[in-house]
Amino acid sequence: MASFPKKLIEVALPLSEINAASSREKSIRHGHPSTLHLWWARRPLAAARAVIFAQMVDDPSEYVDVLLSDPPKKRAASAEMKRRKAKDPNSSSSDQQLLEEIAAELERERLFDLIKELVKWENTNNAKLLEQANAEIWQSWRRTCAQNADHPRASELFDRNKLPAFHDPFAGGGALPLEAQRLGLEAHASDLNPVAVLINKAMIEIPPMFAGQPPVNPMSQSEQMIVPRTWSGAQGLAEDVRYYGEWMRDEAHRRIGHLYPKIEITQEMVQERPDLEPYVGQELTIIAWLWARTVKSPNPAYRDIDVPLAYTFMLSTKKGKETYVEPVINGKEYSFKVKVGVPPDLERAKRGTKLSRGANFECLLSGVPIDGDYIKQEGQAHRMGSRMMAIVAEGHRGRVYLMPEGRSENSAQETNPNWKPENSLVGKCRDQLPLYGMETFADLFTSRQLTALTTFSDLIGEAIVRIKHDAIASGREDDGQPLRDNATGATAYAQAVGLYLAFVVDKCADYWSLISSWSASRQTIRNTFGRQAIPMTWNYAEANPFCGSTGNWLAMIKWVFKCINAFPSTTRGISTQADAHSQGLSNAKIISTDPPYYDNIGYADLSDFFYVWLRPVLKSVFPELFNTLAVPKSAELVATLHRHKSKPAAEKFFMDGMTEALERLAKQSHFGYPVTVYYAYKQAETKENSGMSSTGWETFLGAVINAGFTVTGTWPMRTELSNRMVGMGTNALASSVVLVCQLRSHSAPIVTRREMLKILRAKLPKALLLLQAGNIAPVDLAQAAIGPGMKIYSRYAWSASLSEKYSGDLSGPTYRNPSNMIINGDRLTSATCINCSSGTSGDSRKIRKNPKFHIALLGRQPKKFLLACLALTVLFA
């Protein structure tokens, strides 16, 4: 008989410390995977690390005998027992019971202390601490193996010398597999989306393949001859990405540097701007050209004039450094001056030519309103243009804002890219842009931006050839085998470096688009994906790839360099493209996963933005990942209206697909461990004290239960940021929940709705009291209360889980007993006719008599019931 110790995550977690570390992580950039490549709604590493660790280690109540056989531990427990008994002499527990409880508590505290250290960002690569965590995981594993030594599949499933591997079938930005790898597990990541698969390759697969190897570039090679050094982890790989990235920059500058002229500060400029005096005669490097989109004025008197749609005239709002654009009107003409200081009419300068929310502006020349419909009409007729408003240049100590000049405006126009991404915008990317005539990804970039991106992309191919040559020269083996075959020779290495360089192009695309705008408060360029959509922007900032400030190529190289350096690169990692509906990779693995959240993020639609740039560069390296023109969409598990046409169809697709995907996890995962599943809320779903009732959440919970899981714990996590850091003690709700799930037992009792409500009423108050005694912040209580509720609810077999298995003709000899129908060993309690939808609830005689009745409970009723249970839970809380 298999025996599995309860895991720490099923009992307790130091939640506040995990939440605080997770929230803090959002403001950390250097070396964080979020700076390797953008992915939407990444889980914080701190939460991922803590959850996987607590999922892998036993709860101390499982090994009190071991604890009490350790003299110092026993002494500590006895002392604490004496203290408690003195305080409460009438305690009903026996001495032995109390001693065991205390020993477990003290041990839990020790594990908590370890987790509290483990989640700190500073300790991400603290080898000593990670070793300690890994040793705890091994100890628990060996205990499990010992307990299951006589299991029929012991040699396969309980090998005391080999930890089970980890798998995340919705790996996305890779936080969970990365943390599993950091904790010493072999990490498998899969995702439907090729961009996510590549991100995971870059994070967990490639670094260990080349770990410990020195860089191959000639400069490092000659330095190595003079001062030999060792290269640990992926440092050598990182160094080559930096070197060849710099080579690309120099080469690109040779080819297209003329498109980014410097600006000379003349005496004439100083007359109007005395602050420019220190720069006279100098040529300043431009950081960005700031543009406003234009349309023809709707005022017939100015019909031939392109007027600006400027959502602000402020360039810098930094206290003491305020700078703004002042339009100068001269009859039918206008120009922009840049002024330093607080504008006399601050409100006007702040709002530019905008009148109100949305696309409502005024004509700069005549004051006539320009409404949204008119702008859309102009956009769709391709009459939308742009006008430069200002230039930002690199000063001695900070930014210098200058008025536009002819040379700058011309160089922006005088280029023709040799390629552009003609893919149509689809789904989430179409929310706003097509309304203004932007239909393809090429429309999101200026000619100069397209030229820069294609130049850098083309250079990656050349860099790969160069790297291979240098690798061979440095003594690497040249087996000619590609990276996709897990080779590690010169060819594969060159391709690996090429992959990171392609990510740098993607990072640049995010900052070098028409959607990127200038942040006057931070004085930096905002990226395209400030949120999980592509919004229309009215002012945009065109970055200079060759400057030394915000948005330049070398800065992007540096971000990627730092990330590679920080990857654990220890145990093996494998990243594969697989559909979670049908994947077979989870077999006997530890599962922690973060599936898509109903209709929250259209990953496949959004990631086309990056795919179109990656494909030309990497399709020869990973042909299978790039065999479609765009990211595959139809199997993506999101409840999107645009793909499924109606709300019920979208909900059904999500419910069925998620159930199937979770069922695969329930069946395949290593049965000695619980499965942990994240669910994150949209902001709108987390109204305070709402109990988080929403279609997405209910559908998701329904899928978890229908997949055959029992929820054995739920942990509210405050892992998302809206506009500010969510600190401990603030009145902000948890933004995601981690469900701890176990496969429901075959012998789970079957109950009716009435019975279930009775059970909930009887058991919930005690379960909630226990919860309140735990370390849950009061504000999180309503959400956390779902846990005990679900724990009770999901312990029972629901007809819902029978429905799929047994839908079919029910006439026949098996279904004899009308009051207690047994089908393949399960008792049937109710059914619905799938033809006429009439309920039979419990009347199995009717079912038996009518061969058309099928068991089809999967749909509405269980969900309604689940809702009732949730409501009841919240009520009790």
Ligand X SMILES: C[S@@+](CC[C@H](N)C(=O)[O-])C[C@H]1O[C@@H](n2cnc3c(N)ncnc32)[C@H](O)[C@@H]1O
Q: How many CB atoms lie within 10 A of CB 667?
A: 13
Nearer CB in complex with ligand X: 175/463: 175
From the list 208-216, 413-421, 463-471, 629-637, the region that binds ligand X by CB under 6 A is 629-637
Which residue's structure tokens are 């019920």? 648
Q: How far is residue 833's CA from residue 839's CA, in Å, rounded to a whole number?
A: 7
Total length of the chain? 877
Asked if residue 292 binds ligand X (CB under 6 A), the reply is no
CB 167 within 8 A of CB 174: no
Nearer CB in complex with ligand X: 10/191: 191
Query: Least CB distance from residue 173 to ligand X, whole Å?
Result: 3
Q: How far is residue 210's CA from residue 751's CA, in Å, rounded to a whole number?
A: 56
Query: Least CB distance from residue 661 to ligand X, whole Å?
Result: 7
**Binding letters toward ligand X, positions 91-130, x by CB under 6 A:** ----------------------------------------
Nearer CB in complex with ligand X: 43/428: 43
Asked if residue 178 binds ligand X (CB under 6 A), the reply is no
Q: How far is residue 811's CA from residue 535's CA, in Å, rounded to a whole number?
A: 57
Nearer CB in complex with ligand X: 196/869: 196
Helix, strand and coil percent figures for the chain, each rounded to 5: 45, 15, 40
Nearer CB in complex with ligand X: 538/678: 678
Q: How far is residue 873's CA from residue 877's CA, in Å, rounded to a whole number?
A: 6
Query: Least CB distance from residue 808 to ligand X, whole Å?
Result: 27
Query: Least CB distance from residue 73 to ligand X, whole Å?
Result: 37
CA angle, residues 697, 702, 706, in degrees to nearest 5: 155
Nearer CB in complex with ligand X: 534/578: 578
159-165: Cβ within 8 A, 24+ apart = 163/137, 163/138, 164/588, 164/589, 164/590, 164/670, 164/672, 164/673, 165/588, 165/589, 165/590
Judging by DSSP bridges, how do beta strands 166-168 and 187-191 pair with one another?
Answer: parallel
**One-letter amino acid of 34:** S
Strand, coil or helix: 261: coil
Kindly identify the residues of this chain, within the stretch 557-586, that bind ligand X according to CB under 6 A.
579-581
Nearer CB in complex with ligand X: 350/682: 682
CB 58 within 8 A of CB 104: no
Kindly identify the residues of this chain, within the stretch 407-466, that bind ligand X according to CB under 6 A.
none
Nearer CB in complex with ligand X: 25/59: 25
290, 291, 327, 329, 387 from 404: Cα distances, Å: 9, 10, 12, 15, 9
Query: Least CB distance from residue 50 to ligand X, whole Å?
Result: 14
Which residue's structure tokens are 């992915």? 39
Query: Least CB distance from residue 221 to ligand X, whole Å?
Result: 36
- Tokens describing residue 38: 């953008």
Among 17, 636, 663, 698, contact with ligand X (rule: CB under 6 A): 636
Q: From 63, 48, 49, 66, select the one nearest 11 (Cα to Cα).
A: 63
For residue 333, the cross-strand partners are 330
Query: Least CB distance from residue 632 to ligand X, whole Å?
Result: 9
Strand, coil or helix: 270: helix
Q: How far is residue 210's CA from residue 235's CA, in Å, rounded to a whole number?
A: 9
Among 53, 141, 158, 170, contact with ligand X (rule: CB under 6 A): 170
Asked if residue 176 binds ligand X (CB under 6 A), the reply is yes
Query: Least CB distance from residue 170 to ligand X, whole Å?
Result: 4
Nearer CB in complex with ligand X: 175/209: 175
Size of the site for ligand X (CB under 6 A): 24
Q: How far is residue 55's CA from residue 71's CA, in Å, rounded to a whole number?
A: 28
Query: Least CB distance from residue 689 to ligand X, whole Å?
Result: 26
From the list 121-129, 169-177, 260-268, 489-497, the region that binds ligand X by CB under 6 A is 169-177
Nearer CB in complex with ligand X: 184/595: 595
Query: Least CB distance from residue 147 to ligand X, whole Å?
Result: 32
Q: How far is residue 636's CA from residue 627's CA, in Å, rounded to a whole number?
A: 17
Asked if residue 594 binds ligand X (CB under 6 A), the reply is yes
25, 398, 518, 856 from 284: Cα distances, Å: 36, 12, 19, 72
Q: From 555, 840, 740, select the one nearest 55 (Cα to Cα).
A: 740
Rounded to the nearest 10 degrees, how much is the dihedral formed by the CA atoms of 428, 431, 437, 442?
A: -30
Q: From 282, 295, 292, 301, select the one nearest 335 (Cα to Cα).
A: 292
From the list 13-21, 591-599, 613-621, 869-877, the region that binds ligand X by CB under 6 A is 591-599
Nearer CB in complex with ligand X: 100/660: 660
Kindly state the greatest CA–CA separation across the chain.
102
Asked if residue 177 binds ligand X (CB under 6 A), the reply is no
Among 637, 707, 760, 782, contact with ligand X (rule: CB under 6 A): 637
DSSP state of 201: I
Q: How many CB atoms lie within 10 A of CB 688?
A: 9
Nearer CB in complex with ligand X: 428/848: 428
Asked if residue 189 binds ligand X (CB under 6 A), the reply is no
- Tokens describing residue 233: 């982890």
Kindly identify the residues of this chain, within the stretch 653-672, that bind ligand X according to CB under 6 A.
none
Asked if residue 172 binds ligand X (CB under 6 A), the reply is yes
Kindly identify the residues of this chain, within the stretch 191-210, that bind ligand X according to CB under 6 A.
191-193, 196
Nearer CB in complex with ligand X: 231/603: 603
Query: Least CB distance from residue 560 to ligand X, whole Å?
Result: 17
Query: Least CB distance from residue 176 to ligand X, whole Å?
Result: 5
Q: From 691, 782, 687, 683, select the one nearest 723 (Cα to Cα).
A: 683
From the list 6-14, 164-172, 361-369, 475-483, the region that binds ligand X by CB under 6 A is 164-172
Query: Least CB distance from residue 192 to ligand X, whole Å?
Result: 4
Nearer CB in complex with ligand X: 242/615: 615
Residues 6+ apart with CB under 8 A from 818: 844, 845, 848
Kindly identify the residues of this chain, within the stretch 487-506, that bind ligand X according to CB under 6 A.
none
Kindly identify the residues of this chain, within the stretch 29-58, that bind ligand X according to CB under 6 A.
39, 41-43
Among 346, 635, 770, 822, contact with ligand X (rule: CB under 6 A): 635
Query: Least CB distance from residue 223 to ligand X, whole Å?
Result: 37
Nearer CB in complex with ligand X: 285/695: 695
The number of CA neighbours under 13 Å toward the Cβ of 800 is 26
Query: Least CB distance from residue 696 to ligand X, whole Å?
Result: 12
**One-letter amino acid of 119:** V
Query: Least CB distance from residue 48 to ligand X, whole Å?
Result: 7
- Tokens describing residue 727: 């600190």
**One-letter amino acid of 800:** A
Asked if residue 686 binds ligand X (CB under 6 A), the reply is no
Asked if residue 173 binds ligand X (CB under 6 A), the reply is yes
Q: How many CB atoms lie within 10 A of CB 582?
A: 10
Nearer CB in complex with ligand X: 323/607: 607
For residue 293, the cross-strand partners are 309, 386
Residues that bind ligand X (CB under 6 A): 39, 41-43, 169-170, 172-173, 175-176, 191-193, 196, 579-581, 594-596, 603, 635-637
